[in-house]
Amino acid sequence: MDNRSIAQLLFETADLLEISAADPFRIRSYRRAAEAVESSTIQLSEIAHDAKKLQEIPGIGKSMAANIQDIEKTGTLPLREELLTKYRPGMLDLLRLPGMGPKSVALFWEALQVSSIAELETAIAEGKLASLPRMGTKQIEKLRKGIEDYKKNSGRFLIDDAEIAAEKLIAYLRAFDGMDVITPAGSLRRGRETVGDLDILVTGRACTEGKVQSAVEYTAAYPLIVDLIAKGQNKVSFRLRGGLQIDVRLLPENSYGAALQYFTGSKMHNVAIRQRALKRGYTLSEYSLARVDDGSFVAGATEEEIYAALGLDWIPPELRENNGEIEAAEQHRLPALIELKDIRGDVHMHTNVTDGKNTIREMAEAALARGYEYLAITDHTKNLAMTFGLDDERTIEHARHIREVEKEMGGRIRIFAGMEVDILANGQLDLADETLAQLDVVIVSVHSLFNMPEEEMTARILRAVENPYTRILGHATGRLLLRREAYKLNLPQILRRCAELGVAVEHNAYPDRLDLCDRDLRLARELGCKIVINTDSHHTSHMEKIRYGVSQLRRAWLTRNDVLNTRPANDFLAALRPKP
């Protein structure tokens, strides 16, 4: 199991212990261990056989090492399963609702025997919550809205979670001789910000007649399957723990391209492509492109030959949403989309001075290892007290330290001194202008009071970007995918003003944000905004998540020329809004 999965089980166990009013020290030990696992750069599954090595990780003692070994062996934790039997699995779903913590879940259980979202929804409808302590009209309405959002997002998975699941399965399939080409299709291949299910396509010697049945049996024996849905002649469908459904299709080589085109989608893109095929006397299916009149085979082994037969350039998967890509492919004017290798620096990241896990030097070394030419350290400011945010005096000292570390790096990489400055309720910034003037990169972001009316939130952000020292607007809509909707704001008005002022807008590539979304990125470019892509890294390992953001830039039809941090360090700084 990967570190995130292990940490999730430990976090859930801690929550269930808190619901059961267990010893606070025991609860803290599980949470501390979960945080240690989550932030570790060592994959614990690789050392799980050695309890002593596990105990070398700060936060993991003897008993917790034994727990991790149990997780690695069984895929779960005995204590967690015991608590779920007592309180029912729906408790974990309740904890996913906004503002719902273990204490609230415990209250609902003790007072009303509520142990699932459906039961909570019924209790709200019947007015049963009103008599409970701390349950006023405002709190009940917040719960109602949280349930609505949960239902809307139910069955969706973050892109990185889906990719991790795909990578594990692909590694398993590759161990079978003859599964030569394995490709995720569907919304994961298109780079959608969330994924409903996974389609995995396989071809090679193992998929030929006479051999495919053995490959099917091997696939159906995948150890992480919790629910085998179907097993056919060349397809296996199943669910993993957590509910993600995966369909694996084993295909002959001459049909692989047709299947890849068909199962990549999107639905509307495929409808338009099939209509184009029919107008040209062809029929397109998941098996081949064939002539309508006699059924003779035209193409099928690769996507490129299918699109070429239809008079089109090959269309990158991220663009296949029927948003003009077919016309552009016909006219040979598809853009040269931005690629991961084009990114030269990441200018939004946090260190252990506030809520990050690593030092300035460690972040710089990790950026250098990725081939970056520069980075910016942008820790939090004092308004975000829970992150140990910096006041003016500490910010100036922090900037001095950043520049010292840059000198120590001996010219190997540029390190810009910056801050992610909180936008206060009235739109003022959380640091004085005199302090901001001493920084290379000033990102301004909203981190509080998300429920302001649209007019007030818009005015708040507009005032912040109008500060002459603001250079980048961070994660502009504030959404957290599958957890929190964007706050209400007039985004076009804000983007226009950013374009007028020369303030860059950020695409935050961290997979639970991906903010701005692809649609808003297209709008930003149309309005003339400067665009920056960042990871908002709080750990050296987070920098690799930039690839999820690059997928969103590609979905927005952006090229390297549209994104500022594809430029060398000096050109990047020069492209930002000039200091007063």
Query: In the structure, what pLDDT confidence band is assigned to residue 248 with cuts at 50, 70 and 90?
Result: very high
Residue 508: which H helix or E strand, with range?
A: strand 504-508
Mean pLDDT of 249-256: 96
Statement: residue 53 has pLDDT above 80: yes
Asked if residue 163 lies in contact with residue 196, where contact means CB atoms within 8 angstroms, the answer is no
**SS3 for 45?**
helix
CB proximity list for 373: less than 8 A, separation 6 or greater: 344, 345, 413, 414, 568, 569
pLDDT at 41: 67
Q: At residue 238, does pLDDT exceed 80?
A: yes
Task: Name beta bridge partners: 299.
Answer: 289
Cα dihedral 340, 346, 352, 356 sign: negative
Is pLDDT above 70 for 166?
yes
pLDDT of residue 4: 77
Q: Read off the pLDDT of each residue in 200-229 and give the average, rounded to a whole number.
A: 93
Q: Kindly give the pairing relationship between strand 235-240 and strand 181-184.
A: unpaired
CA 393 to chain centre: 34
- Looking at 360-391, list the stretches that DSSP marks H as alpha helix, in order from N- to C-terminal side: 360-369
Structure tokens at 492: 């076009």
Side-chain-side CA neighbours of 155 within 13 Å: the count stands at 5
- pLDDT tens-digit profile of 495-545? 999 999 999 999 999 999 999 999 999 999 999 999 999 999 999 999 999
DSSP state of 284: E
Q: How far is CA 322 from the centre of its chain?
A: 24
Q: What's the rounded Cα separation, in Å, for the pair 13 and 16?
A: 5
Q: Is the pTM of this model over 0.95?
A: no
Please list, residue by residue across 333-369, b when 16 or more beta carbons sit within 10 angstroms of its beta carbon and e when fewer do. ebeebbeeebbbbbbbbbbbbbebbbbbebbbebbee
Beta bridge partners of 251: 203
pLDDT (0 to 100) of residue 133: 82
Arithmetic mean of pLDDT, 155-168: 92
Q: What is the mean pLDDT of residues 451-478?
A: 97
Q: Is residue 152 scored above 70 in pLDDT?
A: no
What integer pLDDT is reported at residue 548 of this predicted model? 97
Q: Sorting pLDDT into bands at 50, 70 and 90, what band is 57?
A: confident
Residues 566, 349: Cα–Cα separation, whole Å: 17
- Structural domains of the chain in order of their starting residue, each with its CATH number: 3-153 (1.10.150.110), 157-251 (3.30.460.10), 261-330 (3.30.210.10), 340-575 (3.20.20.140)
On the question of pLDDT at 154 being above 80, the answer is no
- Which of 209, 220, 206, 225 has its CA nearest to residue 248? 220
Q: With bands split at pLDDT 50, 70 and 90, how would you rate the model's confidence at 410? A: very high
pLDDT of residue 35: 81
Cβ atoms of 574 and 353 closer than 8 Å: no
Band of residue 446 on the pLDDT scale cut at 50, 70, 90: very high
